[in-house]
């Protein structure tokens, strides 16, 4: 990985890191790692195989042997296949997100997925988004971003997404879910959500998606990555 240019974008749920990372990777011609998808996938696999999700469960073999593949679409998005089944939409539900957060508390899971995440670091470069990309997975990254947004803004974004899908949701309930997930992610014992000491914080609350992408890209230029 020494010759690979790596940009990490960490942050809480709903900060926009996935969308911004994907667009940035496409614009730069870099590979893209959605680390959260791996945890969501593992949560789905565990439920489908009747495995109880707990902090002491041994997911090692399950994590290493997941039958998962990512296929790029013409619009720049990915299709995620689990055991040959398209689970792209299922991965983005609130229920699956909650599963991922619980799975991520397990230290064995994080160790088992580390090697798989490292395999994404290929020339010419990588944009990796998650919660511990800059602190644990790619501490050698040349540019580390910690993307934030207010709880109200993040809940509002999710509210609009779910309404567009025809789901009946309440904004107040989503705010509580965001707050609870933040608390769980920041206070877990293994790889808690935190900004790397050398990360640049970018608040996306009042930024459009393109403004946020441009902000990170300008930082990449300043670091000599482009």
pLDDT digits (tens, 9 = 90+) for 172-183: 999 999 999 899
Mean pLDDT of 128-133: 93
Helix (H), strand (E) at residue 114: helix 107-118
Q: What is the pLDDT of residue 13?
A: 86
Q: What is the pLDDT of residue 54?
A: 82
**Both tokens assigned to 67:** 């039958």
Confidence of residue 79 (pLDDT cuts 50, 70, 90): confident
Domain that holds residue 167: 5-222
Q: Tell me the CA distances in angstroms from 214 to 18, 91, 122, one per residue in order.
A: 15, 28, 23
Q: What is the pLDDT of residues 81-99, one digit of tens each?
A: 888 899 998 988 878 888 8
* Structural domains counted in the chain: 1
Confidence of residue 49 (pLDDT cuts 50, 70, 90): confident
Mean pLDDT of 49-56: 84
Q: What is the pLDDT of residue 17?
A: 93
Q: What is the pLDDT of residues 138-177, one digit of tens each?
A: 999 999 999 999 999 999 998 998 888 888 889 999 999 9
* Exposure of 37 in the CB half-sphere (CA atoms within 13 A): 24
CATH number of residue 152's parent domain:
3.40.50.300
Q: What is the pLDDT of residue 72?
A: 63
The pTM (predicted TM-score) of the whole model is 0.84
What is d(CA 110, CA 65) in angstroms, rounded to the nearest whole number? 14
- pLDDT(73) > 70: no
Q: What is the pLDDT of residues 202-213, one digit of tens each?
A: 999 999 999 999
Q: What is the pLDDT of residue 124?
A: 94
**Closest C-alpha among 106, 93, 96, 116 to residue 34:** 116
């Amino acid at each position: 990985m020494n010759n690979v240019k790596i940009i990490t974008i960490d942050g809480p749920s709903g900060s926009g890191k996935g969308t911004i990372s994907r667009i940035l990777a496409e614009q730069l011609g870099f590979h893209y790692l959605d680390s959260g998808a791996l945890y969501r996938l593992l949560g789905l696999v565990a439920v489908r195989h009747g495995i109880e999700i707990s902090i002491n469960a041994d997911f090692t073999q399950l994590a290493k042997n997941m039958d998962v593949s990512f296929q790029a679409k013409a619009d720049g998005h990915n299709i995620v296949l689990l055991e040959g089944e398209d689970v792209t939409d299922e991965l983005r539900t609130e229920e699956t997100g909650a599963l991922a957060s619980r799975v991520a508390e397990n230290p064995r899971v994080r160790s088992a997925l580390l090697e798989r995440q490292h395999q994404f670091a290929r020339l010419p470069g990588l944009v990796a988004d998650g919660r511990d990309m800059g602190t644990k997975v790619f501490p050698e990254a040349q540019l580390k971003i910690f993307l934030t947004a207010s709880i109200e803004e993040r809940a509002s974004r999710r509210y609009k997404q779910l309404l567009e899908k025809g789901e009946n949701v309440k904004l107040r309930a989503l705010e509580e879910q965001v707050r609870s997930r933040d608390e769980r992610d920041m206070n877990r014992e293994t790889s808690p959500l935190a900004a790397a000491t050398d990360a640049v914080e970018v608040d996306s609350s009042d930024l459009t998606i393109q403004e946020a992408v441009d902000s990170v890209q300008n930082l990449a230029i300043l670091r000599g990555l482009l």
